[in-house]
Amino acid sequence: MRCDYDLIIVGGGLAGNCLALALKDSGLRIALIEAETPAEREHAPIGQRALALAYGSTVMLAALGVWETIKKTATPIKHIHVSDQGHFGKTRLSADKEGVDALGYVITARHIESHVSEQASKTALTTYCPARVVGLMSSDEAAYVNLNVDQQSVNLTAKLVIGADGGQSTVRQLLAIEQKTTDYFQKAIVTTVRSSLGHNNVAYERFTAEGPLAVLPATGNHSSVVWTRTTEHADDLIQRSDADFLAELQNCFGFRMGSLQLVGPRFAFPVNLIRAEKMVQRRAIIVGNAAHQLHPVAGQGFNLGLRDVLQLAEMLIEQVENEGDIGEPAFLDSYAKARQIDHDKVINFTDGLVRVFSNDWLPVTISRNTALILLDHVNSVKSLVTQHAMGLGGRLQRLGKRRY
């Protein structure tokens, strides 16, 4: 059967656009469908969040040809400082010791999203925007996608549909893929501060019984804050005066960067774990947040999604070169198999961090503080942990070697 497209990508967020970029020379006929206009995305508060990019992700973004520009507004992380509020344990990781310029980089999500989207729009793909996918069916020959464009119904066919439509994925629902949701009853408050002593390119991760606080180096003396509190507390903190909010933030973080000054608006986003029970269905694959929406504690969501996308792109290119069907069940299964271990590792690690560090039961407190101290003193283990924080663990080193 001759389809309208080889591939339909649903969702023009980071995952969808990075996939489109990776496939720009694949010869595939691609359509990308995005529900929101560029202006709507540009002004959405969620675009204000800071993204910590692991070193491995910067290598992959370079392979996609977008890192040079993104790097101009990114701030390098030279050190990572992890501590446990009210307890003795802490650990420090350093770029110098790993022999790299930076352990990772911090960037405002909006900057990377708009650049990647702009670059993807310059490729040969057909974009439907604003357009929302409302229906999806598949047969052995094709996937059938129904869109809502300007109140009009549009039908498209493709050999394969990629759901890159985020944590509330419509594609996941339409495919009847079950999901497991873990509600942490927390919200992440995102804002920007300036500090009197400067950040010296240190990324701070401070665990507290109520949730983690990340203070990430940004341009100038600015730092991006991702502060997780219980839902009620976060809602209350959003309502408070700037002075009240700042006093509580300073109390939680301490004075390691001197006194803090608020320089950006405050927004709160619910945080939970959503994991799809499978990644593939007949003639469809879900990637990025559509497959796994994580707590931001370890800054791994997009890093993991980017690895989905590069793995998928590599396999699709190979399948095209071998003249295989990109929607055949064996191909979809091999993709799912290739991504399973990385998903399990990152999801379990992130979920474990939230649980272990939000626990004030004495034996747990002692164990985690002992672990932090040990980690700080045993160089070989520390180096291993740092390699993983940089997104370089094991097989991951392979991704990003190809130039797209």
> Which of 61, 102, 133, 225: binder of ligand FAD (CB under 6 A)?
133
Smallest separation (angstroms) from ligand FAD to the CB of 272: 10
Are the beta carbons of 203 and 52 closer than 8 angstroms?
A: yes
- Using the minimum distance from each CB to ligand FAD, give the nearer residue, 168 or 259: 168
The residues in 256-295 that bind ligand FAD, with binding defined as CB under 6 A, are 269, 288-289
- Using the minimum distance from each CB to ligand FAD, give the nearer residue, 64 or 365: 64
Q: Which pair of structure tokens corresponds to residue 221?
A: 């003396």
> Which of 3, 7, 8, 15: binder of ligand FAD (CB under 6 A)?
15
- Using the minimum distance from each CB to ligand FAD, give the nearer residue, 211 or 299: 299
> Which of 8, 19, 33, 312: binder of ligand FAD (CB under 6 A)?
33
Q: Dihedral of CA 387/388/390/396: which sign?
A: positive
* Rg over CA atoms, the chain: 21
The helix/strand/coil state of 364 is helix
Residue 99 burial class via C-beta count within 10 angstroms: exposed 0-12, middle 13-18, buried 19 and up = exposed
Residue 339 is classified by DSSP as: H
Name the residue type at position 378. V
Q: Which residues contact 244 (CB under 8 A, 6 or more apart)?
A: none
> Which of 6, 8, 9, 13: binder of ligand FAD (CB under 6 A)?
13
The separation between CA 162 and the C-alpha centre of its own chain, rounded to angstroms, equals 17
User: Helices 55-63 and 301-321 sit at what angle, rounded to 10 degrees?
Assistant: 40
Number of Cβ atoms within 10 Å of the Cβ of 191 = 24
Q: Is 12 in the site for ligand FAD (CB under 6 A)?
A: yes
Residues 190-209 as x/- pattern, contact with ligand FAD by CB under 6 A: x-------------------
Q: Is 35 in the site for ligand FAD (CB under 6 A)?
A: yes
Smallest separation (angstroms) from ligand FAD to the CB of 290: 6
Chain residues binding ligand FAD by CB under 6 A are 10-16, 33-36, 49, 51-52, 109, 132-133, 164-166, 170, 188, 190, 226, 269, 288-289, 296, 299-303, 305
